[in-house]
Structure 1
């Protein structure tokens, strides 16, 4: 099968197309003919050898942790009725940038009728994360909510979910062209956090969804009213917010830790897929690359030029 290999840590050019043996589904596993692959920002860090500790790929490796396609075979102990079904699934961390992937059959999600497979792949990780963040912070109708990295995969979903729940949504994005994306999704206001003084222009908020970290997140923290909540889902800046707990407590602000069991995480994914199938949630797929263009996809993500989700199209 065709695949993309990483044999040395480094820049995007280290991702090289090549051949690999076809995987065989063992006990409890299913073989998926991959059509779309989800690429995450964290994967660009891991490719460079700087991924979040303690996870580090053992080289050589085929990267990729989120795929969508059709089940073509199953191993012992797996219902043969899955064969021919459209599914999305995590791979366990590697093996996704390929034409075929053998995955844990217990981790499959069948794609609901009426939902396109590429949309389902775009929701696999980001839909789960956005739903978890929303339930952790619990914005109430009428509250003012700030979504950082609002043009990204998770941010675009948070904008829609918070707005659907009755909140007033302020979308913060890095650049004027990116700020336009959440406005098209229903955000009430938009701000460019690359502009000096952006936080003062935003004003007070009740909830901060922090997808940037670093100085942007620390500025956003200062906007929270007493009783406000801040929850972090990403560190596009390369560092977490680092707001001290005692400083938050002194301002009567809660730094929310989003936690969930494995089954709750699965329910978050099912919820996002169901909302999308019903037409109430729309993932933004901003970029598509062929399987052999994985290096270009990583370069685009690193350059901060992307919006929404970036996918590889395999078939």
Structure 2
């Protein structure tokens, strides 16, 4: 099989194409002939060795989400899966390849209405966005702020919040991303690279913000949290800024602000599976529209990582093996 491997932590240049033997499924597993592999921002952090999440052991084939056709199964797996169009997690690694192993219990059939691009794009980002929306329960007339509003998760959150009747303010760093946030349903879009954006946001929400979906962290959190009104909800779900933002827990308690960590949106594997299934259903129905901003050949994974780190990528970035 073709794959992209990182032998050591470092910049995008450590990702190199290799040829490896095709993997064979262990009990309970299938092999997927990969059409599309999803890239997440955390992949870039894992590759660099700076991830705030679980450490990886090098050498490693990154990638935790793929779409493709099941072409081999273990003896104990239902043969009905052979030939099925699926999207699936890979257990944390192994996705940047033309063949990947997955547990049969993690497989989702791709709805007939969806391409592999669409299904792979919403597999992880969709379940995250739906879990965050469920935890926050944004309501009609509430003010909702979405950071990284043109990103894979952020773009879906903009749609979900707008559909709930909330007034959505999207934050992003470039004009193209601000335009994309508006196209997805944001009522206002502000650049957090512009001087005085905090004052502009406060002017748009003079009574405070009800909900913040924060995938950036760092100093963005520290600027946004004071704007949350008493009884509001703050949902830190990423650290694209390089670190988790600091939240004054005493202040949160005094103002009765609910802090919902990312780990609370899907406490079990069954819950995460159900959220992903719902994301696929909503996308097939046209309720959710993933933004697939760029697709790279598998062998160009290093260029894909570089684009994400340079903040030039919009929406979801995918790798293609075809």
Contact in 1 for aligned 2:217/2:239 (Cα 8 Å): yes
* Partner residue in 2 for 1:242: 246
Match of 2:221 among 217, 228, 231: 217
8 Å Cα contact 1:136-1:257 kept in structure 2: no
Q: With the length of structure 2 as denominator, give the TM-score of the two structures.
A: 0.95
174-183 or 294-303: bigger deviation: 174-183
Residue in 2 that maps onto 1:253: 257
**CA distance in structure 2 between the partners assigned to 1:256 and 1:126 by the alignment:** 17
Distance 2:25 2:245 in 1: 42
Partner SS for 1:222: helix
User: For residue 270 of structure 1, what is the aligned residue in structure 2?
Assistant: 277
| CA distance in 1 between partners of 2:243 and 2:68 (Å) | 34
Matched positions, count: 314
Residues in 2 aligned to 1:7 and 1:230: alpha-carbon distance in whole angstroms: 38
Correspondence 1:206 to 2:210: yes
Q: What is residue 50 of structure 1 aligned with on the other side?
A: 50
Aligned to 1:77: 76
CA deviation vs aligned residue, 1:54-112 (integer Å, no higher than 9, x gap): x2222222211111000111102111111111101111111111111111111111111
User: Aligned partners of 2:199 and 2:231: how far apart in 1?
Assistant: 19
1:300 is aligned to 2:288: no
Moved more, 123-132 or 168-177: 168-177
Q: CA deviation at 1:158?
A: 0.1
1:41 aligns with 2:41: yes
Superposed CA offset, 1:174-194 (max 9, x none)? 122211111011111111111
Which segments of 5 or more consecutive residues in structure 1 lack a partner in the other structure?
A: none
SS of the aligned residue for 1:76 comes to coil
Structure 1 CA distance for aligned equivalents of residues 253 and 52 of structure 2: 28
Aligned match of 2:160: 161
Aligned mates of 1:272, 1:215 — CA distance in 2: 31
The offset of 1:113, in angstroms, is 1.8
- Taking structure 1 as the reference length, what is the TM-score of the superposition? 0.97
1:125-148 deviation line (CA, Å, top 9, x unaligned): 100110111111111111110001
Instruction: State the Cα distance separating 1:27 from its structure 2 match.
Output: 0.8
Q: Report the counterpart of residue 205 of structure 2 in structure 1.
A: none
C-alpha RMSD of matched pairs (Å): 1.1
Whole-angstrom CA distance in 2 between matches of 1:177 and 1:124: 25
Structure 2: runs of 5 or more not aligned: 203-207
Shift of 1:51: 1.9
- What displacement does 1:293 show? 0.1
CA distance in 2, matches of 1:219, 1:61: 37
CA distance in 1: counterparts of 2:62 and 2:10, whole angstroms:
13
Aligned partners of 2:197, 2:298: CA distance in 1, in Å? 39
Distance between the aligned counterparts of 2:52 and 2:41, measured in 1?
Answer: 11
